């Protein structure tokens, strides 16, 4: 569940910073999955839930490293699901939209145009709260999801379901 973001335009980003985001957001989940899978393979059962991102589906300026890492994590999730399904291991992901966390605090301040954009662009009209992810995590960790494998469930207030600004009517 570890993740970092560096909000820097791609043309200005240091390669070291790009690599650091990839290491934390993509290589870290690979290492953890590899470590836990060994025991799961022995037990012939297991659930891995990666925290992906809506940014694996969309482009946006100044988050190229983060979006690249999360796009890679989406595909890692699908590949591990394929490889480990024969061992009764399900590997899925949760793709949060815009959530009120310490990472987004700098862009959620009143008066920040991006804050207003997200509130106005998201059909639910708000940023997500971390608690909004709990039900999806419980579902993916439970037996109810035993035939769900290689999927990313987006918890985004509907932002990926629409184009343009939702109507206020």
**Cα(139)–Cα(142) distance, rounded to whole angstroms?**
5
- DSSP conformation class of 105: G
In the Cβ-directed half-sphere of 31, how many Cα atoms lie within 13 Å?
A: 9
User: CA 33 to CA 74: how far, in whole Å?
Assistant: 13
Active site residue: 18, 66, 99, 127, which one?
66
Q: Is 154 a catalytic residue?
A: no
CA dist 41 and 88 (Å) reads 8
Is the CB of residue 11 less than 8 Å from the CB of residue 56? no
Crossing angle, helix 64-84 and helix 15-22, to 10 degrees?
A: 30
Can you tell me the distance from the alpha carbon of 69 to that of 30, in angstroms, rounded to the nearest whole number? 11
Q: Which residues are catalytic?
A: 66
């Amino acid at each position: 569940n570890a993740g970092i973001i560096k909000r820097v335009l791609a043309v200005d980003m240091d390669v070291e910073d790009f690599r650091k985001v990839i290491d934390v957001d993509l290589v870290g989940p690979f290492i953890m999955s590899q470590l836990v899978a060994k025991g799961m393979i022995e037990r012939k059962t297991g659930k891995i839930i990666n925290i992906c991102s809506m940014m694996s589906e969309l482009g946006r300026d100044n988050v190229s490293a983060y979006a690249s890492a999360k796009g890679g994590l989406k595909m890692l999730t699908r590949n591990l699901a394929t490889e480990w399904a024969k061992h009764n291991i399900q590997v899925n992901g949760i793709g949060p939209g815009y959530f009120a966390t310490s990472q987004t605090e700098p862009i959620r301040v009143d008066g920040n145009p991006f804050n207003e954009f997200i509130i106005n662009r998201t059909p639910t009209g708000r940023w997500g709260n971390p608690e909004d992810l709990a039900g999806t995590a419980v579902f993916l960790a439970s037996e109810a999801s035993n035939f769900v494998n290689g999927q990313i469930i987006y918890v985004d207030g509907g932002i990926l379901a629409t184009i343009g600004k939702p109507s206020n009517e």
